[in-house]
A and B are shown apart, each in its own frame.
Chain A
Amino acid sequence: ELKVEQNPLFLSMQEGKNYTIYCNYSTTSDRLYWYRQDPGKSLESLFVLLSNGAVKQEGRLMASLDTKARLSTLHITAAVHDLSATYFCAVDLQGAQKLVFGQGTRLTINP
């Protein structure tokens, strides 16, 4: 059974700081997704990582994938309040977009 674990589950940080969210998974997969969810809202796709060593950046967010370590990271640079949300990673179990989600990391960025 595929398990996807994120840490930390809760993260409170100040604006301007850098931090990293980690996503570990238990079964071989080369497809990993990052989503953002604002309170009471739907999930918004951030990144799709398709191969070992893949790195994608959008604004202050950068995601990377190490399939050998079964690890993905989401790095936040110089955080701003607007990035406050819950971030989920998800692993494609069978290459059919049958995604298994992590528990989510609730990020709060304080002014």
Chain B
Amino acid sequence: DAGVIQSPRHEVTEMGQEVTLRCKPISGHNSLFWYRQTMMRGLELLIYFNNNVPIDDSGMPEDRFSAKMPNASFSTLKIQPSEPRDSAVYFCASSFTGAAEKLFFGSGTQLSVL
């Protein structure tokens, strides 16, 4: 398996623009997580899905952020409009919800909002 695949690896955009981050989880995994990593706040869970259904989005910073999982093999995290404070590394992770299966992380998307 290729692991969790995220795209793009790097994204540079201007304030106010829409940004879409993409994630393909590991085949067979039924849980998907979006995390954000910054120097100041560390790793924060934004939202997670189970069987394509959003279970907890309490970590989503504000209405500018939205996430979807239309099927078991694809998820998006959208920021509209983007702001400089959104600059961070965004990680997607997936797992099979069972006896505490470990999370597998993607390579991340480095987002820079100018």
Contact = CB atoms under 8 A, between A and B. Distances in A.
Interface of A: 31, 33, 41-45, 48, 50, 88, 90, 92, 95-104
A78 B91 CA distance: 32
21 contacts: A31-B100, A33-B102, A33-B103, A42-B91, A42-B105, A42-B108, A43-B105, A45-B102, A45-B104, A48-B100, A92-B100, A96-B48, A96-B55, A96-B97, A97-B33, A97-B48, A97-B103, A98-B45, A98-B56, A101-B43, A102-B42
Contacts of B102: 33, 45, 48
Interface of B is mostly: strand
Q: Sort chain B's interface into a size bin.
A: 20 to 34
Given A43-B91, A88-B43, A97 B107 contact: no
A50 B99 CA distance: 9
Given A33-B102, A96-B97, A97-B31, A42 B107 contact: yes
Nearest to A34: B102
A50 to B, nearest CB: 5
B73 interface: no
Contacts, number: 50
Contact of A96 (B42, B43, B50): B50
Contacts of B43: 88, 90, 101, 104
B91 A45 contact: no
B25 interface: no
Contacts of B42: 101-104
B78 to A, nearest CB: 22
Top 3 nearest A-B pairs (CB, nearest first) are: A101-B43, A45-B102, A43-B105
A90 B99 CA distance: 16
A88 B107 CA distance: 16
B107 A41 contact: yes
A81 B69 CA distance: 41
